[in-house]
Amino acid sequence: MDIRTAALVGFGGMGSMYAAHMALQTPAIEYAVVADTPRIARYRAEGIVFNGTPIEVAFRSYEEVETSYDLVIFSVKYHCLSEAIEQSRSLVGPETTIISVLNGIASEEELADAFGEERVLPCVAQQMDSSKIGPIVSCGSIGVLALGVFEERQLPRLKRVTDFFDSIRLPYIIPDD
């Protein structure tokens, strides 16, 4: 099953960088930044300016989500992860794959406890430099995502994610370890 839908949970420096990248690269897929209703209202009102260019980003509140997504990327601050997990339950279905760009082992364990370890792929975001002040995002490099699997049974999920990343030109590597 190909990845055709993606949700981004978290719209800080990294989340907004990935959202802008998807907005610029993926007219054929459905993606959205998903958050609670007050945040979505603020994001819609402010918009986003990515490296000096206004970008049209799709925003959905949790209440507006009608079906699960194929890929969910968590980019919230760690102290917000528990709340984001609870709010994001409707985003995750049987075929959903989850990655975290929080760069901490604990986030992946918490996501696996909440959604099932088979759905969560290990991921480390490297070499990016993104910052966000209000609706203004500055990014010199989107960096690279180091991806892998915890168990061999996750290899089909990893393949779907890397095929998707290839289609949107999102840099990644698969380290041997």
Question: Which residues on adjacent β-strands are paired with residue 30?
Answer: 5
pLDDT of residue 27: 64
Predicted pLDDT at 25: 79
What pLDDT shows up at residue 26? 62
Cite the DSSP H helix spans in the chain.
13-25, 37-46, 81-87, 105-115, 155-167
How far apart are the C-alpha atoms of 18 and 88, rounded to whole Å?
A: 18
What's residue 155's pLDDT? 96
Instruction: Tell me how far apart the alpha carbons of residues 81 and 74 are, in angstroms, rounded to a whole number.
Output: 8
Please give the Cα distance from 129 to 175 (Å, whole number): 21
Q: How far apart are CA 6 and CA 68, in angstroms?
A: 9
Residues in the chain: 177
Q: Which parts of the chain have pLDDT scores under 50? A: none
CB contact burial 30-60 (16+ within 10 A = b; e otherwise): ebbbbbeeeebeebeeeebbbeeeebebebb
> What is the Cα–Cα distance from 14 to 5, expressed in whole angstroms?
19
H-assigned helices in 37-102: 37-46, 81-87
CA 75 to chain centroid = 6
Q: In this predicted model, what pLDDT tens digit does every residue of 79-94 receive, in sequence order?
A: 999 999 999 999 999 9
What pLDDT is attached to residue 103?
A: 84
Q: What per-residue confidence (pLDDT) applies to 104?
A: 72
The gap from C-alpha 23 to its chain's centroid, in whole angstroms, comes to 13
The residues facing 50 across adjacent strands are 53, 137
